[in-house]
Chain A
Amino acid sequence: MRITRKTADRNAGLLALLLASAGLLAACNTSGSQVIGVYSGRHYNTDQELYDRFTAETGIKVKLLEAKDDALIQRLRSEGSDSPADVLILADAARLDRAAHLDLFQSVDSAALEAAVPADLRDPNNRWFGLTRRLRAPMVNPAQVQATEVNSYRKLADPALKGRLCLRNRRSVYNQSLVAFMLDREGEAATAAWIRGMVANLAQPVYGSDTPMIRAVAQGRCGVALANSYYLGRLQAGDKGADDQKLSAAVQVVWPDPVHVNITGGGITRHSQHPKEARRFLEFLASNKAQGGYAAANHEYPIRGFGNDPVLSAWGPFRQADVSAARLGELNGKALDLMTANGWQ
């Protein structure tokens, strides 16, 4: 009998635990009246503050789901017309273009957006709009590599850099977009030779992320690395602590002329139930009052101008290449094939 009673007690305990956990879960769900659903590949705490400001201004609530960009695209596809998402925000032009080709966006008619976002940083059919700019550029350790040695992307393949170059792997969509950029400017044969040249110059096996690579530049284990500007921005601004700030001070960004520009952008989903509210949301993000906050959260550049981030100001101005973001997306597949075929791991 003793065992039986104990078991019964335990069962009751288990049941209570299950109910309690169900309660916990239910308590975490919220709902509202005028609401838009946003799928975002960005995840910065300051984004939430910005969305809260949007809600305060317009009364439209923002439900947020942040995940990796590719996973969001996949989720939106599987959900089809039942999707609760109204806005999709993705990092990198290639992904925006892919989402557009999968027919996940609808065309947006907005004078405000067209005025705020330059034509080459939005979709020609107005399905997506750039919201911030990010630059992929050489970063050098001046003790090992002079700025003049790498002031164009082409020079990174120069045999003089042998044993001094570091690259991230080819899975990085940022690298793919850079190769797409070169493809557009230089053509296939020259880009293939450029990739082979860079691979021959590698000082280390390719990296899986940008930050350790930039540290390796600072430590002198790489002379020059190709990285996205905001990774260095975070280090130099002290976002990653005083040690990293000190270490990264030695690293110098070199702007090639012209520089390859990529974007974070967003659009309204094909099956949005609230397209009007979603449009207001995009207009808000592209507007001057939101732009500073949206780009500065990650030390990115606003969609126009250079912003007022002190770290970015120190790097000085640059001349933006005229390859459109849409073109980068178009060439992505070819770029990836070329990287694979020419030994970029």
Chain B
Amino acid sequence: MSVSPLAAGDRPTWQPGRRLLSFGALLLALLALWPIGGLLGEGLQGLLNGSAQLGPDGGAQLRGTTLLLLGTALLGGALGTANGWLLANCRFPGRRLLRVAQLLPLASPSYLLAATLVDLGSRQGLRIHGLGWGVLVMALSTYPYVFLLSTESFTICGRRQLEACRCLGVGPWNSFRRIALPLALPAIGAGIALMGMEVVNELGAVQLLGIPSLSAGILQTWQAEGNPAGAVGLALITLCIVMVLLVGERRLRRSSRRWTEGVAGGESPAWPLQGQRALGAQVLGLVPPLLSLGIPLLWTARNLDQLRAGFSGELLQLTGRSLGLGLAAAGLAVAAALVLAIAKRWSSAAWLRSLTFLAGMGYAVPGAVLALALLLLGSPWRLAPLLLLLWGYSDRFLAVAKGGLDAALERLSPSLDEAATGLGCRWPAVLQRIHLPLLRGPLAVGALLVFVDTVKELPLTFALRPFDFDTLSVRVFQYASDERLAAALWPALMILTLGLIAALALIPGLERQGQDQAPSRG
């Protein structure tokens, strides 16, 4: 647990504003936990009465999910961290372009990647099937989480230490291993935890690739066997796996707590790479985005003749809905995450800290189960489906917005807040004049991730949308799961385009972040 900036000793007198902040956080956390809590009873009942049984494939499903999780964390974690470091602290031709390119895989939904890969393979007589391919697909579509969070940390943290390394003649590899990596561990851990939650809940891609998984088991128990209590019980088991992930990440974070003074001084200690090393860095940065975006595009190129046939004016409506939902969800989730994170920073109350931590659990609940919870919740109150849908998105993606924000706030030295409070600022002023300007990067990253995730999101949208309210992702999945990929082409291209626009919108933020580090320009 982090230390409240004002927890030690000279806490100023009672401030009504801070109560308000805690109350707001409490309200948000309860809103986030309400649907999950509602299911808890049913899930426990399912576990107790024995209907929450894994089927005869239970062992295989548990094994499949665990291996997929480990493989993806290893491959994706390595890809994300390596690229995060190389693109933040090394200089080689094409670096800027590659930095942006790392965001591209976010635009490509994993089920689309899997479907186009399987389809391309089957045309060539190659059977794309099994765990290895699953790890590849999941790592390619989720490593940007690790990249985004780690590169931010690599850019900001430990510049003075790295400079010292350089002065002492320590090379880039050793500087990375001994200084930068330990400093970035919280961010990498947060990224891997997000990856893990995504993997545990992935359904479309793993089914297409024939990997037995807990998520498929849950859906089977719930829908095909009509046993919601059993499904929720299974979801609780999944939740336990995710809890282990999260707690592990927090421990990691606690053991490597470092603070920076907001804007660390010093020119960027970038290592120029040349020759084979530069080539290696380029290949490492190029291959993952090339695969995750290139496979769907290659598929498109091979089906160009069908591009004209599939176009319809409806596409504009679908795009409008996806865009609207994405923007609304991004705004809501980021705002909620900010309130929770700031409240946690200003309070030393253990209950508040636990609550803000638990509020992010929505991401760990399978989308379909969360949808069930919201339907049960919303029906008696006759809540509009759209409202439920936005509630679901914000609940589910709160962790995405919160992950980077928490990591960034923890890096900010409490002395900043102490200085500001010493000068008479209350939390709104500190937020406005210190935290917000310093959190611009993480806030933008969080909003982008939530936006892209919402545009790609399936189970919630599927289950909660009202009549005549299809979105791009719904269409893509419907067509793809019906084995009519060609019909999915246009909506899929629009998802990619929206993702690309969102990624491009982030570049100024990333660049500014880089520039802010240089005091001569700040």
* Interface residue ranges, A against B (CB under 8 Å): 3-4, 6-7, 14, 17-18, 20-25, 27-30, 37, 43, 45, 63-68, 70-71, 73-75, 78-80, 82, 84, 98, 102, 169, 171, 173, 204-212, 215-216, 219, 221, 231, 234, 239-244, 247, 340
Contacts and interface: CB of A to CB of B under 8 A. Distances in A.
A257 B325 CA distance: 52
9 contacts: A71-B223, A74-B222, A78-B372, A78-B379, A79-B375, A209-B118, A209-B208, A215-B123, A221-B127
A17 B327 contact: yes
Interface of B: 55-57, 118-119, 121-123, 125, 127, 129-130, 207-210, 216, 219-220, 222-224, 226, 302-303, 305-306, 312, 317, 320-321, 323-328, 331-332, 368, 372, 375-376, 379, 382, 386, 432-433, 436-437, 462-463, 465-470, 474, 478-479, 481-487
Contact of A234 (B122, B433, B468, B484): B484
A74 B368 CA distance: 10
A241 B219 CA distance: 33
Given A18-B331, A28-B324, A68-B462, A7 B486 contact: no
Given A25-B386, A82-B379, A243 B123 contact: yes
Contact of A28 (B209, B219, B220, B317): B317
- Which of B129, B207, B483 is the most central at the interface, judged by chain A CB atoms within 10 Å of its CB? B483
Contacts of A64: 467-468
A75 B436 contact: no
Contacts of A71: 223, 368, 462-463
B327 A43 contact: no
A240 B122 contact: no
Contacts of A37: 467
B486 A241 contact: yes
Contacts of B328: 18, 21-22, 25
Contact of B125 (A7, A29, A98, A221): A221
B61 to A, nearest CB: 12
A102 B207 CA distance: 27
Contacts of B222: 74
A30 B468 contact: yes
B125 A74 contact: no
A70 B221 CA distance: 11
B468 A63 contact: yes
Contacts of A70: 219, 223-224
A43 B486 contact: no
B470 A66 contact: yes
B305 A22 contact: no
Nearest to A23: B324
Contacts of B484: 234, 239-240
B259 to A, nearest CB: 21
B352 to A, nearest CB: 25
A70 B122 CA distance: 28
A75 B483 contact: no
B331 A212 contact: no
Given A17-B331, A171-B220, A25 B324 contact: yes
Given A75-B463, A207-B210, 20 more contacts: A3-B433, A18-B328, A21-B323, A24-B327, A37-B467, A45-B487, A70-B224, A71-B462, A71-B463, A74-B372, A74-B463, A78-B379, A80-B379, A82-B379, A205-B130, A208-B210, A211-B483, A216-B122, A234-B484, A239-B484
A21 B463 contact: no
Contacts of A75: 375, 463
A234 B129 CA distance: 23
A297 to B, nearest CB: 11
Nearest to B386: A25
Contacts of A4: 432-433
Contacts of B481: 68
A231 B482 CA distance: 9
Given A4-B432, A171-B220, A239-B484, A208 B208 contact: yes
A216 B119 CA distance: 11
A18 B470 CA distance: 20
A102 B227 CA distance: 12
Nearest to A94: B224
Contacts of B323: 21, 24
A82 B383 CA distance: 11
Contacts of B468: 29-30, 63-65
A207 B483 CA distance: 13
Contacts of A234: 483-484
A35 to B, nearest CB: 9
Given A17-B327, A30-B468, A68-B462, A24 B320 contact: yes
Contacts of B55: 340
B321 A205 contact: no
A200 B331 CA distance: 55
Contact of B129 (A20, A23, A205): A205
Contacts of B56: 340
A206 B211 CA distance: 11
Given A22-B324, A208-B207, A239-B484, A84 B467 contact: yes
Contacts of A6: 437
B446 to A, nearest CB: 13
A167 to B, nearest CB: 12
A210 B483 contact: yes
A21 B324 contact: yes
A204 B325 CA distance: 42
A4 B376 CA distance: 43
A63 B467 CA distance: 6
A212 B115 CA distance: 11
Nearest to A204: B127
A215 B375 contact: no
A79 B486 contact: no
Contact of B327 (A21, A63, A173, A247): A21
A74 B216 CA distance: 16
A247 B483 CA distance: 17
Given A18-B331, A28-B324, A102-B226, A65 B465 contact: yes
A250 B231 CA distance: 44
Contacts of A17: 327, 331
Nearest to B129: A205
A33 B80 CA distance: 54
B416 to A, nearest CB: 14
A240 B433 CA distance: 57
Nearest to B459: A71
A294 B372 CA distance: 32
